[in-house]
Structure 1
Amino acid sequence: MSRNESGQETTYNPETLHGTHYTIEAFNDEVDRLVQEWIDDEEEANGETPSASEIDNVKFNYRRDVYVDWTGADSDQMLQWEMVNSLEFTGYATSGFVKEENDNPLLEPIHGLSLRDYAAMVIKMSSGVDENEINKAMGIEPAIWQEVNTLWVTRMQEDPSFTIAVLYGQYFMEGATHPKLAHLQPAVNEAGAENLQKMRTDQYFFEELSGARIAAYNYGLDGAQWILDNYGVTLGDFQAVAMEYMTARNMDFNSEEIMKFATYQQEKQAEYEEKFAAEQGGNVADDVDF
Structure 2
Amino acid sequence: MGLFNNLKNKAKEIANKAKELAENEEKKDEKVIEKDEYASESENETEYDQEYDEDEEYDEDEEQDEDEEQELGKDIPYPQGWENLSEIEIADKLLAVSEKYAVMEEDMDEDDFHDGLDNFYAEFGFKNEEHYNDFLAAAYTSFNEHSFTQATLDRAKEVHEAQLQEQIDSNREDLQPVDGVSLEDWAKAFASVANNGTVDEALRITKKDKAGWDKVSEEWMTRMSNDESGTIATIYADAFTSSATGNLGESSNINAESFPFEKYIEVRIALDLLCQQGKDAQDVLAMFDMTAVDWSNSSTFWMSEYMSDTVKYIPLEKEYTAKYEAKYMAGDSNSDIDF
TM-score by length of 1: 0.50
Cα gap change, 1:235 to 1:276, in 2 (>3 Å): same
Q: Does 1:73 align with 2:143?
A: yes
Quote how far apart the aligned CAs of 1:202 are. Answer: 0.9
Q: Give the corresponding residue for 2:161.
A: 99
Q: Give the corresponding residue for 1:261.
A: 317
Amino acid at match of 1:254: T
Amino acid at match of 1:130: G
Q: Give the corresponding residue for 1:242.
A: 299
Q: Does 1:57 align with 2:131?
A: no
Amino acid at match of 2:214: P
Is the Cα–Cα contact under 8 Å of residues 193 and 233 in structure 1 kept in the other structure?
no
**CA displacement 1:37-63 (0-9 Å, x = unmatched):** xxxxxxxxxxxxxx9865443344649
Q: Give the corresponding residue for 1:214.
A: 272
Amino acid at match of 1:114: L
Cα gap change, 1:165 to 1:241, in 2 (>3 Å): farther
Q: Give the corresponding residue for 2:187.
A: 118
Amino acid at match of 1:222: D
Rounded to whole Å, the distance in 1 between the matches of 2:201 and 2:300 is 22
Quote how far apart the aligned CAs of 1:174 are. Answer: 2.0
The number of equivalent residue pairs is: 212
Amino acid at match of 2:217: W
Is the Cα–Cα contact under 8 Å of residues 274 and 331 in structure 2 kept in the other structure?
no
Equivalent residue in structure 1 for 2:260, among 190, 202, 205: 202
Quote how far apart the aligned CAs of 1:130 are. Answer: 0.8
Quote how far apart the aligned CAs of 1:239 are. Answer: 1.0
Long gaps (5+) in structure 2: 1-70, 75-84, 94-114
**CA displacement 1:190-218 (0-9 Å, x = unmatched):** xx559x75775412112212222233322
**CA displacement 1:225-262 (0-9 Å, x = unmatched):** 4323x333221232122122223444x25266246426
Is the Cα–Cα contact under 8 Å of residues 126 and 234 in structure 1 kept in the other structure?
no
Amino acid at match of 1:246: M
Rounded to whole Å, the distance in 1 between the matches of 2:301 and 2:185 is 16
Q: Give the corresponding residue for 2:205.
A: 138
Q: Give the corresponding residue for 1:283.
A: none
Long gaps (5+) in structure 1: 7-16, 29-50, 86-93, 177-184, 280-290
Quote how far apart the aligned CAs of 1:173 are. Answer: 3.6
Rounded to whole Å, the distance in 2 between the matches of 1:257 and 1:73 is 18
**What is the aligned-residue RMSD (CA, Å)?**
5.0
Is the Cα–Cα contact under 8 Å of residues 211 and 265 in structure 1 kept in the other structure?
yes
Rounded to whole Å, the distance in 1 between the matches of 2:265 and 2:305 is 15
**CA displacement 1:69-120 (0-9 Å, x = unmatched):** 8x952685444444444xxxxxxxx468732553324794653343586278
Cα gap change, 1:166 to 1:145, in 2 (>3 Å): closer
